[in-house]
Amino acid sequence: MIDVAGHVVRPRARCSTTDAIAVGPAVPEEFAFHIRLRCNVHTMRGLKPLFLWCGLVIVALGVFGVRLVWRGFSTASEPSYPERVVARIARNLAIPRNAGVETNPFQPTPDILKEARESFVARCAVCHGPDGSGKTEVGRNLYPKVPDLRLPETQRLSDGEIRYIIRNGVRLTGMPGWARPHDEQSDDSWKLVLFIRDLRQPAADEQRQQVTAINSSHYVGSQSCKSCHSQIYEHWQKTPMANVVRDPGEHPEAILPDLATNKIAKFSKEQIALVYGSIWKQRYFTKIGDDYFPEPAQWDVTNHIWRPYFVAKGTDWWEPFYPPDNMQRPTGPTCDGCHSVDYNIHTKQVAEWNVGCEKCHGPGSEHVQHPTRGSILNPARMNYVQASDTCIQCHSQGRPLTNPIEGKYYDWPVGFRVGSNLRDYWQLEESTLGQLTFTHFPEGTAHKNRMQGNDFVQSVMYRRGVTCFSCHDVHGTDNYAQLRKPGEQLCMDCHGPMSLNGPRTATIEEHTHHKAGSAGSSCIACHMPKIETTVADVRVRAHTFAFITPAMTDKYKIPNPCATCHTDKTTAWATEQLKHWPERSPWRMD
C-alpha cells in the first residue's frame, strides 16, 4: 500500500475477518495473507481462555459424573454444593413472578399461630420436624434434603413464594403440593406461612443485641407485657404458673380449706402471709422479720384432708443443714427462688412473685423500650438443651454447684438466668442403679414430685430434640397441665399408626392389645404412669416415657403400669401376657 507521499505502508492487521477481507482486493496478495494470518492468531488468542474454561467445565463434570456413578444415587448421601445450588435455582424458577408479590391476609396472632402449628405438626413435621429444622428420619433421607425452614435460604423468600411452594409443591423432590383443586381461599397455607416465619432463628446482629439487652436490662414485671401481648397475658394470668404464690390479703379466695378444721397445727388467716399451691397441695407461709416460714400443716387438695408438713430426716439433701423446726427453715433458700422472678438472696426481695413472663424470657426493660426480637430472649429460639433448661431449672431435684452460698444451703439454682447454661449452676440429683434413694427408684426413674426434668433428660424424646414446650404451653390452654392438646391427641401427632417414631402397627389397638378408648389403650397410662409422690398417696406422672415392664418391678421394686390396673394379677402373669404380643421383642422383657 502506498501513501500520498509515495511511501510504502504495510497494512495493520485487524481483529476481524471482515476487515481482513475488506482490504484484500486493494493490497498485494502477500500483504493480505499477513493480515489474515495475524487476524486469525489474534482471534485464537482471544478464544483461548474460553476454550480453557470449557475444558475445565467438561473435566469437572466428568469427575463429578464419575464420582456420582462410583458412589451411586443414594438419597441418604449428602448432596454436593453444585447439587444444592441447582436444586435451589430450579425451585426458585418454578415460582411464577406474580406469586412473589402476593401479600398475606392474616396477622400472626397467638390463635392463628396455634392453629397453624397444629396444621404444621399434622402435615409437615414428619419431614421438617416440629421445629422446622428438617432433622428427621424422613427429612434426612430425601433428595434433595429437606431445608431448614429457620434459615435465611427459606426466610428470604416472600410470603407469596412460600405459600406457592406449600400449595404446589416442588417437582422432583419429596415436597408435595397441598392445594385443593379449584380452592384458592379456604386452605390454611397463608397461616402456615406465618408459622414458618415464626420459626426464624435470630440473626447474628439480633443475637448480639440479646447479649447486650440481657446485660443491661432490668426486671419490669409481667404487667409491662400486657399492652402488646394482651391475648397471651390473659391466658397466662389464669394458669397455675401465674398463681403459685398468692397474698390472702389481696386474694382471700386463695385459701381453699376451712382453717377451723385444721386439728394438726392451728394458725389463723391473719398469720398467713402467702398461700402456696392449689392443684395437689396447699401450704401456708408466715412472715417473721424479712423471711417466710412454712406452717406445719398442709391441705391435701385431692383428698380434702389436713396433713402434717415437715421435711423429715433423710427425705431431702438439705435437711441436715437446718434445725428440725419449720420456723427455723426459711422458704428463701428452699422454695422462693422458683416461686418468683429474680429472688435476691441478699435483700430477700423479688421482682415479682409467681412464674412471670421474665422468668422464662429474661429481664424485659429494654424490650419494653425497643420491642424487637433482639431485645428479649425466647426459649423457642434456643437449642433444645437451653430451651428445656428454662423449665428444668425448677422442675427438677438437684443442688447448686457451690454450697453453701454465704452460709446458707439453697435448693434452687442461685444465679441462673434464662439463656445461660444451667449446668454451670445446678447439678441434677443422680441415681445409682439398684439403689433406692430419697429421689429415685433403683431403676433410675424419679419417685418424688418436681422431678420431671430428672426424668425427661433420660428419655429418648429429649435426645431427639423434643422440648418441654413441644407438649406444654405455659402461656395457658384449656387442657390439663397446659398441654397443647388433650393427652391422647397430642401423642398421636408424632406416634400415630405405622409412624416411624413408633408404634409400628397398623392400629393403636394392635400396639396396646386393649380396646380403643379403654384405660389400657391410653398412651400415658403405660408410658407416663402415676408413680411419683407429691403428697401422701397422691402421685403424678413419670416423664421418662419408657415402658416399665413387670420384670423390672421384680428386679427394682418399681411399680409397673400393668399391675396398676390389674391389681388382682401378679407380675409373672403380666410377663407371660407380654410374651404373646407378637410385636413385642423378647429381648425387651426385662
Q: How many Cα atoms are found within 13 Å in the side-chain-facing hemisphere of 43?
A: 14
d(CA 186, CA 16): 64
Topology at the third CATH level for domain 81-198 = Cytochrome Bc1 Complex; Chain D, domain 2 (1.10.760)
Q: Can you name the residues that pair with 298 across neighbouring β-strands?
A: 307
Q: How high is the pLDDT of residue 444? A: 96
| Residue closest to 194 by CA, chosen among 101, 129, 126, 132 | 132
pLDDT class for 243, splitting at 50, 70, 90? Answer: very high
- 8 Å CB contact between 380 and 392: no
Q: Give the mean pLDDT of the chain.
A: 89
- For the residues 303-315, what does the mean pLDDT come to? 97
**Does the structure show a pLDDT above 90 at 105?**
yes
Instruction: Give residue limits of the domains in the chain.
Output: 17-68, 81-198, 379-509
The model's confidence at residue 264, banded by pLDDT at 50, 70 and 90, is very high
Q: CB 554: neighbour CB atoms within 10 A?
A: 15
**Phi, psi (deg, nearest 5) at residue 376:** -150, 155
For residue 496, the model assigns a pLDDT of: 84
Q: What pLDDT was estimated at residue 21? A: 43
- pLDDT surpassing 80 at residue 64: no
Quote the pLDDT of residue 188: 87
Query: What number of other Cβ atoms are within 10 A of residue 526's Cβ?
Result: 22
Confidence of residue 6 (pLDDT cuts 50, 70, 90): low
Lowest-confidence region among 22-36, 274-288, 388-402, 413-427? 22-36
Residues whose CB falls within 8 Å of the CB of residue 515, separated by 6 or more in sequence, listed in order: 509, 521
Of 58-72, 114-128, 266-280, 346-360, the least confident: 58-72
Please spell the DSSP secondary structure of 439-486, one letter per residue: SB-TTS-B-BSS-HHHHHTTSHHHHTT--GGGTB-TT--SSGGGBSS-
Read off the pLDDT of each residue in 356-385 and give the average, rounded to a whole number. 95
Q: Which residues contact 48 (CB under 8 A, 6 or more apart)?
A: none
Distance, CA of 259 to CA of 257 (rounded, Å): 6
Q: Residue 13: what pLDDT?
A: 44
Tell me the C-alpha to C-alpha distance, in Å, between residue 368 and each of 201, 232, 510. 21, 16, 53
More confident residue, 212 or 573: 573
Q: Using a CB cutoff of 8 Å and minimum separation of 24, what contacts does 437-444 make?
A: 438/314, 438/315, 438/316, 438/317, 439/397, 441/531, 441/556, 441/557, 441/558, 442/556, 442/557, 442/558, 443/548, 443/552, 443/555, 443/556, 443/558, 444/544
Residue 491: all three cell numbers together: 401423642
The amino acid at 333:
P
| Tens-digit pLDDT profile for residues 68-84 | 666 666 788 888 888 88
Percent with pLDDT over 70 in the chain: 89
- In a 3-state reduction of DSSP, which class is residue 398? strand
* All residues at 6 or more sequence positions from 431 whose CB lies less than 8 Å from its CB, including other chains: 437, 439, 440, 441, 444
Residue 487 pLDDT: 86
- 430-462 tens-digit pLDDT: 999 999 999 999 999 999 989 999 999 999 999
Among candidates 307, 481, 335, 313, which has minimal Cα distance to 343?
335
User: Mapped to the 3 state alphabet, what secondary structure does 188-252 carry?
Assistant: CHHHHHHHHHHCCCCCHHHHHHHHHHHHHCCCCCHHHHCCCCHHHHHHHCCCHHHHCEECCCCCH
CA 419, CA 358: separation in Å to the nearest integer? 12
pTM reported for the whole predicted model: 0.84
- Pairwise CA distance, residues 475 & 235, whole Å: 6
Q: What pLDDT, on the 0 to 100 scale, is given for residue 14? A: 46
pLDDT reported for residue 249:
95
pLDDT in tens, 494-553: 888 888 788 889 999 999 999 988 999 999 999 999 999 999 999 999 999 999 999 999
DSSP for 477-542, written as a single string: -SSGGGBSS-HHHHHHHHS-TT-TTS--SSSHHHHH-S-TTSGGG-HHHHHS-EEEEEETTEEEE-
Q: Which helix (H) or strand (E) holds 120?
A: helix 110-123
Angle value at C-alpha 424, between 330 and 276, nearest 5 degrees: 30
Which H or E run includes 20? helix 17-23
DSSP SS3 for 123: helix
Q: State yes or no: pLDDT of 53 exceeds 90.
A: no
Residues 12-23 pLDDT 10s: 444 544 444 444
**One-letter amino acid identity for 260?**
A
User: What average pLDDT does this structure show over 319-345?
Assistant: 97
- C-alpha span between 190 and 166 (Å, rounded): 9
Environment class of 311 (CB within 10 Å of its CB; exposed 0-12, middle 13-18, buried 19+): middle
For the chain, the distance separating the N- and C-terminal CA atoms, rounded to the nearest angstrom, is 106
Please give the pLDDT value at position 439: 96
